[in-house]
Structure 1
Amino acid sequence: MSAMPALTAVVLAAFVGYIGAWYTGAIEGNFALVMLLATFVTGVYWVAEKLLFLPQRQRAAQKLEQQAQARTAQLQRQGIAQHDVNVDASKEHLLRQPWWLDWTAGLFPVLFVVFVLRSFLFEPFKIPSGSMIPTLLVGDLILVNKFTYGVRLPVINKKITEGQAVARGDVIVFRYPPQPSLDYIKRVVGLPGDKVEYLNKRLRINGQEVPTEALPDFFDTDAMRYFQQFEERLGPQPHRLLNTPGIAGYIQGASDFAGRDQCTYSVEGVTCTVPPGQYFVMGDNRDNSLDSRYWGFVPDENLVGRAFFVWMNFGNLKRIGSFH
């Protein structure tokens, strides 16, 4: 056991070094991998504590108590009735969990619960940009349901249950195809096989124009300006979207993404046929969103889950609640 403090210090230093390098941008971090490794390592310490280290400390404390009892009996045989023998403090010291177990085995239950919740049930995200205004605002802290579309194994992202099919109008979090280490959030517009047309700022799916209704202009307090606001119905639930006056529907700066041969760009906008197993996504802030119009389709294996609830916005508590 004498080598365990040094070994634990090395393990903890490795975790701190990895997180520090990730934070400074020296490496591209993987939070799911860090959580998996942290849960596994602390779990090993937790099992060792239950089966090895704690029984060792209990035996040492029991031996100390037996020695104290033997010493007391010896003194009584010598006719010494009063003596100053108090082993409680020593026993407490022997039973106390050392720092290297407190920072490993002691953290395992919390890490295990967080790992299970985050990997298979719900994961929190913070909205970093305005691409989903007015549905989601910058600073919204949201929850993502990770089992709606099927449970996936952490890190390798392999689907182990089917779940529900992705539906038009769903707000999804996914791994950004050009850089999978980043998570993006957009609304599903086109399903596999759909013909999606976004021409002159009007959306058509399979030749049918998506119903929209004009709403009063939306005032963005961050941009300090008004935007045209509409209600659109892609699925059973309507949602709001924004258009910026004076910006044309022309898509400028689209990248050379996989499946671009399924898209046709013009001065009016873009028309795409969604490949099998992929999705066409767009932001609700239509003129201020880098989405499938620019970087292509979202493969099914990139899905993280369905966003459904704002659990906190420290600047506006009225934001808390579900959304469509």
Structure 2
Amino acid sequence: MNAKPNRWVAVLLGIFLQPGAMLYVARPGWALFYFLLALTMGVLGAIYSRAQSGENLIVLIQFAILLACAAHAYHLARTYPDGKRRPAYSRWYGLLGAMAAVFLIVITVRAFVVEPNRYPSSAMLPTIPRGALLITQKWGYGNYSLFGVNVHRSPITSPLVRGDIIVFEFPMDRSVPFAQRLIGLPGDKVSYKGGRLVVNGEALALRQIADFMDPKTSERLRAFVESQGDIEYSIIRQQEARDTASMVVDFPHRDRCIYEADGLTCDVPPDHYFVMGDNRDQSADSRVWGFVPADHVVGKVRYIVR
């Protein structure tokens, strides 16, 4: 029972499971170090995955880390003191238990607390660039799922405020996650005409700022700062607004919206929300496909990693 760690098992674990390799050679402090290092590299990989050069550098660093860990684990296994009793966590059942615990923690955090999402659209420019990483708070919004599999549902208990960016299941296909700006709460009257937004009879403050340069088309677009209460955010508009009314589909509670040549007015139903993209003339949103039911809300975007 006091057998020294096998050097080649330590090497294999160092290549494929660095924290496990350190536990195997009875070095829990080093196991924590490699675990935190793996988390850091995972975050950096997610941040720089849009830049080919940055992604290549991260891959090289990760490869260097696993080689260094394998060599480190080999050395610690070779120099493990003869006759020293190995703790339970360094044996196969301890390693399996540690891996199961880490796995459970990771899936619990992702299902119930926070979740990263890659944003594929330009509908939220200039706030969210195409391909940006969104860190979404899920706790308190009642829609807990993991990789498309629902785990638990409960009523929303955390506040949603006009101007928040929320992540939700697309009403026409709940398997597709969307992220857009919350404009109208249940019971609100929302009007969007001639490029001006009015909520409950109050026009939102709007001031023009420097033009936005679309990184994809190099087109200069008019940019504005819009305000909802204490929340300010930037929006962009085309020189000629797109005819949204021609794109409208049939959706639940469509009778609560009145479409006119210059825009629309909607009464938001109970337990529903009205959302819009910040790229106002290049966004399919509640103007086109309707309201977001409360049980479709996944969470609120807390951080945008560009």
- The secondary structure found in structure 2 opposite 1:252 is helix
Corresponding residue number in structure 2 for 1:212: 206
Alignment-derived partner of residue 79 in structure 1: none
Residue 108 (structure 1) shift: 2.0
Q: Which amino acid aligns with 1:298?
A: V
Q: Distance in 1 between matches of 2:115 and 2:242?
A: 37
Report deviation, 1:156: 4.8
Give the SS at the match of 2:167.
strand
Match of 1:286 among 280, 283, 297: 280
Instruction: Give 1:262's aligned residue.
Output: 256
* Displacement after TM superposition at 1:275 (Å): 0.2
Matching residue within 111, 122, 125 for 1:119: 111
Deviation (angstroms), 1:109: 2.5
Q: More strand per residue: 1 or 2?
A: 2
In the aligned structure 2, how far is the partner of 1:110 from the partner of 1:151? 24
Q: Are the counterparts in 2 of residues 278 and 297 from structure 1 also a CA contact under 8 Å?
A: yes
**What code does the residue aligned with 1:125 have?**
N
1:10-159 equivalent positions in 2, closer than 5 A: 107-147=99-139, 149-154=140-145, 155-159=150-154
Partner Cα distance (1:273, 1:247) in 2: 23
Is 1:237 the counterpart of 2:246 in the alignment?
no
Letter in 2 for 1:108: A
Deviation of 1:235 after TM superposition, in Å, equals 3.0
1:120 partner amino acid:
F
**Which residue of the partner structure matches residue 240 of structure 2?**
246
Alignment-mate amino acid for residue 123 of structure 1: E
Equivalent residues, number = 218
Aligned to 2:183, the other structure's residue is in SS state strand
1:298 to 268, 276, 292: 292
CA contact (8 A) 2:143 2:296 kept: no
Structure 1: 5+ residue stretches without partners: 1-87, 314-324
Check the 8 A contact 1:264/1:270 in 2, yes or no.
yes
C-alpha deviation, 1:247, in angstroms: 2.3
Are the equivalent residues in 1 in contact too, given 2:142–2:298 (CA < 8 A)? no
Matched, 1:173 2:167: yes
Say which of 250, 255, 270 aligns to 1:276.
270
Unaligned residue ranges in structure 2 (runs of 5+): 1-81
Q: Secondary structure at the match of 2:246?
A: coil
| Residues 156-210 of structure 1 deviation map (CA, whole Å, 9 limit, x = unaligned) | 54116x5322110010000001000010000000111111111111111112111
| Aligned match of 2:218 | 224
* TM-score w.r.t. length of structure 1: 0.62
Q: Contact between 1:250 and 1:268, CA under 8 Å: does it hold in 2?
A: no
User: How far is 1:248 from its partner?
Assistant: 4.6
Give TM-score scaled by structure 2 length: 0.65
Give the 3-state SS of the residue equivalent to 1:293 in structure 2: helix
User: 1:126 corresponds to which letter in structure 2?
Assistant: R
1:94-144 Cα offsets, whole Å, 9 max, x none, are x9978xx98x76642232111111111110011101100011101211200
Q: State the superposition RMSD in angstroms.
A: 2.5
Q: How far apart, in 1, do the equivalents of 2:223 and 2:144 lie?
A: 40
**Mapped contact 2:211–2:220 kept (Cα < 8 A):** yes
Pairwise CA distance, 1:237 = 1.6
Q: Select which of 178, 194, 210 maps to 1:184.
A: 178
Read off the aligned partner of 2:213 and give its amino acid letter. Answer: F
